[in-house]
A and B are shown apart, each in its own frame.
Chain A
């Protein structure tokens, strides 16, 4: 593990007596969460607060002819009824494009539809009332006269000449297109011993955060100031967008993010109904609250995936993979989501297919098209589950074709552990990965040979079990290359401010946010370790644009690697400042002192010299006793952004062991393993739990989750009774292992870990099911969710 040796005593920083790096310390915020003393946005109430409910389009595509709101306006409790046209006077529309996604286009989107509704569930009118129930009652009294238009629902035909163009001004339904070619692809396919070609289908699914999206906006006309409590992953980004579209200065907007009931990428985007809530507060000059109900969540929270990918792999009989080729088509709804765009997922698919393998020949084509369904955008592990499934399913299909063990084909093709840095065929620069060490570790963890023997023995008794693997790479710690270079005001750097209080404890303010991952704990661990105090002397402040350093927030597995490093650097800086004060008081050389366990000590011997409470007392209350001209600085701020590498790629491998009931098509997950390499592990327990939670989200996509639309663009299963999510009874125990390859970009060397589980699980489960069914002569399954129906069809039973 690589930590810069910055301690004169000869101890490494990791060995500092107060080092919490690498320790599973509990999160400081857990006690209140277990006692019902959290404060989620849905819990927030303010004086004079109104509640908004929205009239939403029942049609996927319709012209709004007229809105009759007279009855609603006089309903009990109603404060205001506001249409899209009226709200357009308060807030400007937005367009979700970025300049580095060449050619991406979208149409202006309003907070409430003006003239046309473009998906079932788009808000067409707002009702603000004293209670949510009264607002919903009044929504029933609003009559909207619609002219139904032909909806574009099938991505496959969205670009056909006969298909209507959703936004006439754009000319066609193509959002974004990308082509990539590397090496000699045609030659590789010509010279291949075997080619496997297939079509993969990935169902649309969504985040289903336990707490729905929630926002309380409070425009104070007296202060000319907007305060927004929002369950968001990116407070500063939202501050910028609220200001921009309301015509305010950024300093007029404060975004507060308290406890957030799950995010997973769902809460990092601009939602029309949340923008409408903010605009309504400005219009009505009072606080307005919006909390999506579960039905609204299903039709308005961003959806994800929904890719059709034609793909092929070329392989030699000795197992050498010689080429990958993909053609990706994805439908993203009627608008590219602002400001991150809906082109990123397809772009990631192109970037990541074949990523673990040294195969140099790769051709990719991706098209992103508009359609009249709910919008799609970045959700946990953006693009990774698609690319990993395509790659890993192809690899195991190729292995089966040439009669090679799936572990062996990986051994022969994964980038060698001593071959870094290197560049993938897609052009990704990889600093240091550990595919082979990870593979060796997982094979040992699962006792692979014994499991294969057990599988064979059970097979003889008519029990059909399967083993599947998925190697993967994950994008973490993104630099400005992700969004900033494309013109989005989304910070890739993050800051931390550490302040000594008057009794010797520290306050740490950080730009990253907490939605359950443990960012608060990681920030505390890094600051405490660097500065030299016990964890119970650290108070962390997050999620307040008035009071934390400017930063990006928590997404793309960046909080620990970027926010943690900033806290580490700020802690070190404050240690230097405090030691300067202590040296002045003690008439000593600051370089001969250190802070350990909350006291100033001699660095050589550890002899106690001065308590931090005494340093603070003198600096704050008796600065007159310090030498003339000496000013104590008991607050330090540092920022960090990765510079040497655009992304800190991580890697890992997952394995699934499951049983298929060939009569019912039911799949029973028996065990799941994941070995991942996120560099320096700051808190092993938090990393393991990120992996486990991520794996189960990936399993949800693999087996259950699907936003099912009909040909008219109606969502058929927008509730939790019909849309299935993973529940405890169906999930397996998950074993997690680690390989540690720190990034040299930061002192701590930590990379991200939040999305590895979700990236690998679907491909690995599909491989295991195909492994179970292959000896039965079943067709290879290449679609998820892998429902009993899909299994029985593959077996030819239905």
Chain B
């Protein structure tokens, strides 16, 4: 019988973490339950809503479709780390100014997903922004304000007016 529990070592928000995890434990449950990083949210737990989005070795992934054991040796960044590093500061400011969140449950995932789009550079069209968020569910805003906020940051980063 294969081992059910595994030792993993990884960095989370720049800190070294060594834990023993159940093989079936998802990354989002590991972050929330074992590391008390509750900014990543479990919304649908089957990869549709995007509330659990985190960065794994620099790429956005679904925390509910990634197992903790898969993250051995990896670099994980959550909304807490991305906030403290200042990486999301202009996006966070734009989301606040535009009221691009209501209950806020989807927001950590939205922000990390937005950052991934903007990292590609340029000013994407509204249609492209909407398409990019096709895996992030927001029940509150109707999306319009989120698209506005992301568009304004893209413009500002490109040197235009926000």
> Does A259 reach chain B (CB closer than 8 Å)?
yes
Given contacts A30-B101, A210-B139, A294-B43, contact A728 B130 (CB under 8 A): yes
Indicate if the CB atoms of B105 and A26 lie closer than 8 Å. no
Which residue of B40, B79, B105, B142 contacts A211 across the interface (Cβ within 8 Å)? B105
Which residue of B99, B108, B133, B139 contacts A26 across the interface (Cβ within 8 Å)? B99
Indicate if the CB atoms of A294 and B45 lie closer than 8 Å. yes
Convert A200-214 into 0s and 1s, putting 1 for each residue whose CB lies closer than 8 angstroms to a CB of B.
Answer: 000000011111100
Given contacts A43-B38, A262-B139, A720-B48, contact A34 B145 (CB under 8 A): no
Which of chain B's residues have a CB closer than 8 A to the CB of A207? 139
> Does A697 reach chain B (CB closer than 8 Å)?
yes
> Does B70 reach chain A (CB closer than 8 Å)?
no
Nearest-neighbour CB distance to chain A for B37, whole angstroms, equals: 8
User: How many A-B Cβ pairs are below 8 Å?
Assistant: 175
Convert A721-740 into 0s and 1s, putting 1 for each residue whose CB lies closer than 8 angstroms to a CB of B.
Answer: 10001111101011000000
Nearest-neighbour CB distance to chain A for B148, whole angstroms, equals: 9
> Does B126 reach chain A (CB closer than 8 Å)?
yes
Which range contains the number of B residues in contact with the other chain?
Answer: 35 or more
**A:34-59 near B, CB below 8 Å:** 34-40, 42-43
Indicate if the CB atoms of B48 and A721 lie closer than 8 Å. yes
Given contacts A720-B44, A728-B136, contact A40 B99 (CB under 8 A): no
Binds B, one of A119-127, A391-399, A409-417, A515-523: A515-523
> Does A692 reach chain B (CB closer than 8 Å)?
yes
Give B80's nearest chain A residue, CB to CB: A36
Indicate if the CB atoms of B104 and A516 lie closer than 8 Å. yes
**B:104-141 near A, CB below 8 Å:** 104-108, 111, 126, 129-131, 133-141
Given contacts A259-B104, A728-B143, contact A36 B45 (CB under 8 A): no
> Does B78 reach chain A (CB closer than 8 Å)?
yes
Indicate if the CB atoms of A518 and B102 lie closer than 8 Å. yes
Indicate if the CB atoms of B108 and A36 lie closer than 8 Å. yes
Q: Give bound CA distance, A319 to B157, whole Å.
A: 55
Indicate if the CB atoms of B142 and A692 lie closer than 8 Å. yes
Which of chain A's residues have a CB closer than 8 A to the CB of B51? 210
> Does B22 reach chain A (CB closer than 8 Å)?
yes
Indicate if the CB atoms of A685 and B43 lie closer than 8 Å. no
Given contacts A36-B83, A294-B45, A721-B48, contact A734 B105 (CB under 8 A): no
Indicate if the CB atoms of B99 and A686 lie closer than 8 Å. yes
Which of chain A's residues have a CB closer than 8 A to the CB of B95? 30, 34
Indicate if the CB atoms of A516 and B48 lie closer than 8 Å. no
> Does A164 reach chain B (CB closer than 8 Å)?
no
A-B contact pairs, 19 of them (CB 8 A): A33-B104, A34-B96, A34-B101, A35-B80, A37-B39, A42-B42, A131-B33, A208-B137, A210-B106, A261-B103, A262-B102, A516-B102, A689-B102, A689-B141, A696-B142, A696-B143, A720-B49, A731-B130, A734-B142
Contact residues of A with B, CB < 8 Å?
A: 26-27, 29-31, 33-40, 42-43, 131, 133, 207-212, 259-264, 293-294, 515-518, 685-686, 689, 692-697, 719-721, 725-729, 731, 733-734, 757
